Structure 1
Amino acid sequence: MSTGSQAGYGAAVVPLLVLAAAVLHAVWNALAHRIEDKLVGFVLIDLGYLCCAAVLVCFTPLPDAAAWPFIGTSCLLQIVYQVLLLQSYRLGDFGQMYPIARGTSPLLVALASTTVLGQSLPLGGALGLIAVCSGLAGLAFADGLPGRAQLPALAAAVGTGVMIASYTVVDGTGVRRSGTVLGYIAWSFLCQGPALPLAAWRLRGGRALLGALRPAYRTGLAGGALSMLAYGLVVWAQDRGNLAAIAALRETSIVFAALIGALVFRERLGYRRMAASAAVLLGIGVLELAHL
């Protein structure tokens, strides 16, 4: 296969894998939400991808030295992200908190990738990004603006979005300096995985935590494996594509989450959510045409 053909093949594969990651991300978040004890759910998810990462590091090379500061920074950001996401799910509804958390990041990533990293965003890409973010906002606020009682949940969800944008930019830069995409993914998950389980062990006590983990361990561990696979696909794409476009594509998980909410959790979809989903899909098409 010629170099040009390989480049064209890679350009076609990247959006498909990011969309697959979006589906997987919506599914693992739904699994986490389904576990009544949210701390237990997130501990199991961390243990799931910690086990996967421990196996993967045995078969992948170490990342280059230049990548380790990015891995360390990403781990800290991911830990804060998990705490904020856990809190937003405790305080708010899945159908509202998930889109707010995910929808905050594309604009922030686009701003950072153009102003800090110097990546170009053509006019068509900017219009597509606006359409995607408008659709995400429509999904988030389809049932009206949140009241005062919902402000703590909203703050946690917005903070989650800021963390998503932050670690997206960090990983998008770090993976390009690592020399090994799989090694970067494996060591990132291995380093961040123990933090929440250890904190929960100290908070709940070992025996009580183990007792709480047992009823939901299959769901939680499956969610962890899906979480690692979903973000692994995104990091692989970041090594090959435009950060702003990938961030926007990735947030289509909100559309899939809305469908899961309607079909599994019996949440109302309605015409407003359907129109917002259409805006997201239109924005994706514009973004992809702009980066061909």
Structure 2
Amino acid sequence: MWIPITLAAATFQILRTARQHDLKRVLDVVPAGFVRYAYGFPLAVVASIITFSIAGAELPDPPARFWPIIAGAGVAQILGTIALLRSFRMRDFAVGTVYAKTEVILVAVVSAVALDEPLAPLGWIGAVVCVIGVAWLAAPDRITDVLRLAADPAALMGVLAALGFALAATGIRAASNSLGDGPTWNRALLTLTVMLGIQTLVNGAQLAATDRSGLRDVVTNWRLAIPVGVLSIAGSTCWAVAVTLTDATRVRTLGQVEIVLAFAISVVWLRERHTRAEYVASAVVLVGILGVIALG
């Protein structure tokens, strides 16, 4: 089940990103990022009320270790997002994306160390192949420049972003698994709701202290923000369920198919032209993903 759920998560993420382009007209970068928490958290609360109160599902009893783990995961995701945005500003989208996608390798390392869930040797090879394909697809005409810029501050921010996302993914799995052997949906939903609540408080407090006008804009532009919130909670729920079902490395590696899906959409629906290198790079990403899933 984790494979279709992960594919759904990647699809929701693509749609959310597309909707966020509309927000750029009325919101700065940080407030636009806050939208996913501010509008996603109430929806998660509603889903929790329906699940645990109206439907009468058993509410998991979080152990003491659950709270620091999920708080750390939520903060790591916020910091990863900030680092990624800084990478984009320092250099450009392609370079930032390439280094942020080293998340696949970092998730594998963190999962092996923190959760004792290492990949098989051939799985590691698949993860490396996936990262190479993503790098090639993000910068098909200047992959050597991306490698040359490995010491660039933008590259450092990209790697820090990848580390933040890797810690978040493994933290969500660890927190969900700490809730016992109850139904996957119950554990994933509670984990996600708590994390979104923490992120809303932390990111909201930061905006209140540094950008109150941006915080007001998030509220006044609710018509544009709500669809982003809906798509965010749908995607985040699928990610949480997927990493509850299987290890985070497989989920985050398969999630890289998002880039290939976006590429396919641009070809089929938008009728955009692409180079032979981009087609080959897409195939490399898929080979890496299949390698991790089948051999990892």
Per the normalisation by structure 2, the TM-score is 0.79
Please list, as runs of the form range in 1=range in 2, the aligned pairs for 1:1-292 lying within 5 A after superposition. Answer: 13-36=1-24, 37-58=28-49, 59-60=51-52, 61-65=59-63, 66-101=65-100, 103-144=101-142, 145-146=145-146, 151-179=152-180, 180-206=187-213, 209-211=215-217, 214-215=220-221, 217-259=222-264, 269-290=274-295
SS of 1:194's equivalent in the other structure is: helix
SS of 2:39's equivalent in the other structure is: helix
Paired position in structure 2 for 1:5: none
CA distance in 2, matches of 1:120, 1:129: 12
Query: Does the CA contact (< 8 Å) of 1:49 and 1:193 recur in 2?
Result: no
CA distance in 2, matches of 1:136, 1:225: 27
- Give, in angstroms, the shift of residue 251 of structure 1: 2.2
The runs of 5 or more residues in structure 1 that have no matched partner are 1-12
Query: Does the CA contact (< 8 Å) of 1:30 and 1:260 recur in 2?
Result: no
- Give, in angstroms, the shift of residue 204 of structure 1: 2.8
123 and 235 in structure 1: CA distance in 2 versus 1, 3 angstrom threshold: same
- Give, in angstroms, the shift of residue 86 of structure 1: 3.3
Query: Does the CA contact (< 8 Å) of 1:77 and 1:166 recur in 2?
Result: yes
Per the normalisation by structure 1, the TM-score is 0.80
- Give, in angstroms, the shift of residue 228 of structure 1: 2.3
Query: Does the CA contact (< 8 Å) of 2:111 and 2:249 recur in 1?
Result: yes
30 and 85 in structure 1: CA distance in 2 versus 1, 3 angstrom threshold: farther
Cα RMSD (Å): 3.0
Render the CA deviation track for 1:54-96: whole Å, top value 9, x for unaligned: 3234344255124222112112212212322333344554455
CA distance in 1, matches of 2:41, 2:113: 34
CA distance in 2, matches of 1:226, 1:71: 22
Render the CA deviation track for 1:183-235: whole Å, top value 9, x for unaligned: 111111122123223322332335x64247535x3333322222222122122
205 and 124 in structure 1: CA distance in 2 versus 1, 3 angstrom threshold: closer
CA distance in 2, matches of 1:196, 1:164: 16
CA distance in 1, matches of 2:256, 2:132: 12
- Give, in angstroms, the shift of residue 249 of structure 1: 0.7
- Give, in angstroms, the shift of residue 137 of structure 1: 1.8
Query: Does the CA contact (< 8 Å) of 2:95 and 2:155 recur in 1?
Result: no
Render the CA deviation track for 1:139-176: whole Å, top value 9, x for unaligned: 2332312587x944433322211101111121121211
- Give, in angstroms, the shift of residue 17 of structure 1: 0.9
Paired position in structure 1 for 2:183: none
Number of positions where the alignment pairs a residue of Structure 1 with one of Structure 2: 275
